[in-house]
Amino acid sequence: MTAPIIVQDLSMAYGSRLIQQGLNFEIQRGEIFVIMGGSGCGKSTLLRHLIGLQTPAGGRVLIQGQDFWAADDAARQALQRQFGVLFQSGALWSSMTLNENVSLIIEQHKPGLSPATIAELAAFKLALVGLRGFDDYYPSEISGGMKKRAGLARALAMDPQILFIDEPSAGLDPISSKNLDDLILELRDSLGATVVMVTHELASIFAIADRAVFLDAETKTMRALGSPQELLLHGDAQLRNFLSRGQAKALTEEKTHE
Amino acid sequence: MRRFHVLPDSPPASSAQPGQRWVFEGSWCLNEGLPAVADLLGQASPLPASPAKIALDASAVSTWDSGFAMLLNRLILQLQGQGAQLDLSALPQGLRRLLQLAQLGQPPEPQSRAKPGAVQKLGEATLKLWADMQAFARFIGELLLAGLQSLGGRGSFRSRDFWAVVEQVGPQALGIVSLISFLVGLILAYMGAAQLALFGAQIYIADLVSIGMVREIGALMTGIVIAGRSGAAFAAQLGTMQVNEEIDAYRTAGLAPMQFLVLPRVLALLCMTPLLTIYSSVMGILAGALVVVLVFGLDATAYFHQTLEVLTLTDFWVGLLKGGVYGAMVGLSGCLRGMQCGRSAQAVGDAATSAVVTGILLIVVTASMLTIMFYKLGI
């Protein structure tokens, strides 16, 4: 079976400004794959290329063996239907309740179901992320962590085969962030979905990543690819710098917790 | 193929109570349609004597999705509600974990979302109107204070911000103001001509159009165009800044948003609307000339001569004053709604809508007040 996502010689640019080039990696079925790197290195841009929001400047992205950007609109939409995306802010639709946020997607993609079934299915997805009973709340009435969870429930609406998550820990306290990590891990294990996550939080990376790719802003390319343990032993200077500063931060955080 | 059947479960030697094994087989996905919980219970009835021992067995299920998980979740809740003892060990591990996840988390306190009665609605609307009026008065006060402080040299907006707004509300509005004023002038001329032609007094079209445009319509049309253009833009800009916490950033940096954001906008409108009003009046008068010359065959010189004859400087000042007042109203309502904006996309839309509605309402109310006042004063 081919890998669900294959990135071949991808380069990304905004107009004439090059962001990254020479990206080559495969994301295996069922793994949690992390895109990491410092601020401004193009992590989120890479995610936008993978989910079809931005066109590559060069190279190919194969989703389930199909060249995403060479496919026609219908094929591309069919591929996107297998995606679930959790945006950095949650990106909940503010004029809808949490249940409506989830059920809108189910309603549009599974037209045969009765409204009651759709609402119940949406409530079940919300329960999966720990928001049982919050169906009638509006996004403005819940906390940041809950918004992320609700965004995750919406991403799960269509039982996606690939779950994309942008900076799950951004704006969350360490405990909420850890809970969200645990939830992502738990959902991956029970649903068997492939998870692609953008983050610079080393705690998250070492807690849940199976493999990670490290992007560098200066050289504008990927410097390392492998499991977190392999990355720890990797010889690349940029990566070592990134990891050691992060570790120092993690250590000071631990000290303050003590 | 989906299959569901119920088998008697041989009890362990220690227990005398016989149980049931509910077996799910085949593909259980939403796409293929799932049975209702009641159907499953019907197939299994009668349930064994209480406490019923039931094992759910999905080891022979080939494919499933969250629809199946939802069905089992509901089934389990219902059976547990009836006091049954459930054995879930024969469910696939992923499914079991999913069901556990769905049971976690505390539901919130129930919210009261009772619909208010008519009296309550009326009361709330009245209170809201009162609060709105207070907010408007406070806003004007704060703005005046900010203006005075700026004049006194204590903190001032950046002149670049002011000129950018001037450009936006003035020159960039010329196109739409031209079009609307020209067409309104045309309508005025035609309407007047229809009556005046009855007794051969077409030349007085000039009186009608020029006094009408200069005293009333020029300012009114400008005000309405500005309300739709700039009032909405102000509310949307300030509202988005509110959403992005930019306004909070001004406050925490010790800078008054009134001085830096509201004052330049209101001042720019206060300066530009009188100028646009003059422009609008000129366009209306030109449109009148066109009608008079092309349609009614009068001499253009006669039309302009009559116009100059009848227009007084007072008319001009009245129009200018009205333009300024309308501009201030639009600026105030746009900025007020923007500053009051909530923190969501929906709220920004509401702010822009409300800014236009408030702006036009204020224009019409002050227009009537001023017209009556000038009439009583004989101006």
- Render pLDDT for B75-94 as a digit per residue (tens, 0 to 9): 998 888 888 888 888 888 88
* The pLDDT of residue B19 is above 60: yes
Q: In the prediction, which pLDDT does A202 show?
A: 86
Residue B172 confidence (pLDDT): 95
Using left for φ > 0, alpha for ψ between -120 and 50, and beta otherwise, residue A109 falls in alpha
* B120 band by pLDDT with thresholds 50, 70 and 90: very high
B49 vs B47: CA distance, rounded Å? 6
For B349, nearest residue in chain A (alpha carbons): A95
What is the identity of the amino acid at A208?
Answer: I
- Please classify residue B215 by burial: count the beta carbons closer than 10 Å to its beta carbon, then call 0-12 exposed, 13-18 middle and 19+ buried: buried
Cα distance between residue A206 and residue A197, in whole Å: 13
Residue A98 has pLDDT above 50, yes or no: yes
Domains and CATH numbers, chain B: 3-103 (3.30.750.24), 140-377 (no CATH)
pLDDT of the residue at A258? 46
Query: Running DSSP on this structure, what letter comes out for residue B156?
Result: -
Give residue A242's pLDDT band: very low, low, confident or very high (50, 70, 90).
Answer: confident
Residues A21-51: tens digit of each pLDDT: 999 999 999 999 999 988 889 998 999 999 8
Mean pLDDT, residues B38-54 taken together? 81
pLDDT at B272: 95
pLDDT at position A183 is 87
Residues from B in contact with A at Cβ < 8 Å: 30-31, 33, 65-67, 69-70, 73-74, 93-95, 97-98, 101-108, 111, 113, 342-347
Name which of A60-74, A195-209, B56-70, B99-113 the model is least confident about. Answer: B99-113
Q: Which residue of A has its CA nearest to B68?
A: A121
- Across the interface, whether the CB atoms of B69 and A124 are under 8 A apart is answered yes
Shortest CA gap B229–chain A (Å): 25
Flag whether residue A121 sits within 8 Å of chain B, measured between CB atoms: yes
Supply φ then ψ for residue B374, to 5 degrees.
-65, -35
Q: How confident is the model at residue B14 (pLDDT cuts 50, 70, 90)?
A: low
Looking at this protein, which amino acid is placed at residue B120? Q
Q: What is the DSSP letter of B236?
A: H
Task: Please tell me which of the candidates A110, A130, A139 has its beta carbon nearest to residue B30.
Answer: A110
Instruction: Indicate the residue of A113, A130, A136 with minimum beta-carbon distance to B104.
Output: A130
Among B34, B75, B98, the strongest candidate for a mutation testing the A interface, having the largest count of A CBs within 10 A, is: B98
Residue of B39, B44, B50 lying closest to B20 (CA atoms): B44
* All residues at 6 or more sequence positions from A144 whose CB lies less than 8 Å from its CB, including other chains: A90, A171, A172, A176
Interface confidence (ipTM) of the complex = 0.74
For position A246, what pLDDT does the model report?
63
**How many Å apart are CA A32 and CA A182, to the nearest integer?**
12
Whether pLDDT at B34 is above 90 = no
Question: By CA distance, what is B113's nearest residue in A?
Answer: A136
Inform me whether the C-beta atom of residue A136 falls under 8 Å from chain B C-beta atoms.
Answer: yes
Whether chain B has a CB inside 8 Å of the CB on A127: the answer is yes
Q: Are residues A212 and A190 in contact, defined by beta-carbon separation less than 8 angstroms? A: no
- Rounded mean pLDDT of B298-305? 92
Residue A18 pLDDT exceeds 80: yes
DSSP code for B342 = -
DSSP conformation class of B354: H
B31: closest CA of chain A, how far (Å):
8
- Chain A neighbors of B65, CB-CB under 8 A: 159
A186 Cβ under 8 Å from any chain B Cβ: yes
| A191 in contact with B, Cβ within 8 Å | yes
A173: Cα separation from own chain's centroid: 19
Q: How far apart are CA A254 and CA A248, in angstroms?
A: 10
Name chain A contacts of B346, Cβ cutoff 8 Å: 94-95
**Which of A109, A114, A124, A186 to probe by mutation at the B interface, max B CB count within 10 Å?**
A124
Q: Do A120 and B74 touch (CB under 8 A)?
A: yes
Nearest residue in A to B105, CA atom: A130
| Contact between chains at A132 and B30 (C-beta distance less than 8 A) | no
Q: What is the mean pLDDT of chain B?
A: 89
The mean pLDDT value for B195-213 works out to 90
Out of B70, B108, B343, closest to residue A133 by CB:
B108
From chain A, the residues in CB contact with B344 under 8 A are: 94, 139-140
**Residue B9: which pLDDT band, with cuts at 50, 70 and 90?**
confident
In chain A, CATH 3.40.50.300 sits at 5-82+160-257
Nearest residue of A to residue B94 by CA position?
A190
- Residue A125: list chain B partners with CB under 8 A: 66
**Residues of chain A with C-beta less than 8 angstroms from the C-beta of B342:** 140
Phi, psi angles (nearest 5°) of residue A109: -100, -20
Size of interface A-B (CB pairs under 8 A): 74
Q: Confirm if B50 and B83 have CB atoms less than 8 A apart.
A: yes
Residues B140-180 have pLDDT tens digits of 999 998 888 888 876 677 788 899 999 999 999 999 999 99
pLDDT digits (tens, 9 = 90+) for B217-237: 999 999 999 999 999 999 999
Q: What is the average pLDDT value for chain A, to the nearest integer?
A: 87
Cα A163 from chain centre: 6
Which residue does chain A place closest to B344, by CA atoms? A94
The CA distance from B78 to the nearest CA of chain A, in Å, is 15
pLDDT of residue A249: 57
Residue by residue, what is the 3-state secondary structure of chain A? CCCCEEEEEEEEEECCEEEEEEEEEEECCCCEEEEEECCCCCHHHHHHHHCCCCCCCEEEEEECCEECCCCCHHHHHHHHCCEEEECCCCCCCCCCCHHHHHHHHHHHHCCCCCHHHHHHHHHHHHHHCCCCCCCCCCHHHCCHHHHHHHHHHHHCCCCCCEEEEECCCCCCCHHHHHHHHHHHHHHHHHHCCEEEEECCCHHHHHHHCCEEEEEECCCCEEEEEECHHHHHCCCCHHHHHHHHHHHHHHHHHHHHHC
> Residue B284 contacts by C-beta under 8 Å, 6 or more apart in sequence?
B181, B182, B184, B185, B188, B209, B212, B213, B217, B218
Whether residue A253 is predicted with pLDDT greater than 50 in this model: the reply is: yes
Tokens matching residue B250 = 């001004």
User: For residue A177, what pLDDT is reported?
Assistant: 84
pLDDT in tens, A189-222: 888 899 999 998 888 888 899 999 999 988 888 9
Nearest Cα neighbor of A105 from A153, A66, A39 is A153
Q: Does B346 contact A137 at a Cβ distance shorter than 8 Å?
A: no
**8 Å CB contact of A191 and B95:** no
pLDDT band at B51 (very low <50, low <70, confident <90, very high): confident
Which range has the worst mean pLDDT, A1-15, A55-69, B33-47, B165-179? B33-47
Instruction: Name residues 64-103 of chain A within 8 A of B (Cβ).
Output: 94-95
> Which of B66, B95, B111 shows the shortest C-beta gap to A125?
B66
Q: To the nearest whole angstrom, how far is the Cα of A234 from the nearest Cα of chain B?
A: 34
Give CA separation, B206 vs B196, B293, B304, in Å: 11, 11, 7
Q: Do B94 and A124 touch (CB under 8 A)?
A: no
Residue B231: is it exposed, middle or buried by C-beta count within 10 angstroms (0-12/13-18/19+)? Answer: buried
- Is domain A5-82+160-257 classified as CATH 3.40.50.300? yes
Distance in angstroms between the alpha carbons of the first and the last residue of chain A: 48
Strands A211-216 and A58-63: unpaired
Q: What is the DSSP letter of B260?
A: I
Contact B363, B223 (CB under 8 A): yes
| Nearest by Cα to B139 from B323, B266, B241 | B266
**Residues linked to residue A36 through DSSP beta bridges, in sequence order:** A214
CB B265 within 8 A of CB B241: no
Is B334 or A81 the better-scoring residue by pLDDT? B334
Instruction: Give the C-alpha separation, A146 to B284, whole Å.
Output: 58
Structure tokens at A209: 């990543």
DSSP H helices, chain B, are 37-44, 66-81, 93-103, 118-151, 159-169, 174-196, 205-211, 218-226, 232-243, 246-252, 257, 263-290, 300-310, 313-339, 345-377
Residue of A nearest to B342 (CA): A140
How far apart are the CA of A74 and the nearest CA of chain B, in angstroms? 20
pLDDT number for residue B107: 78
**pLDDT at residue number B38:** 87
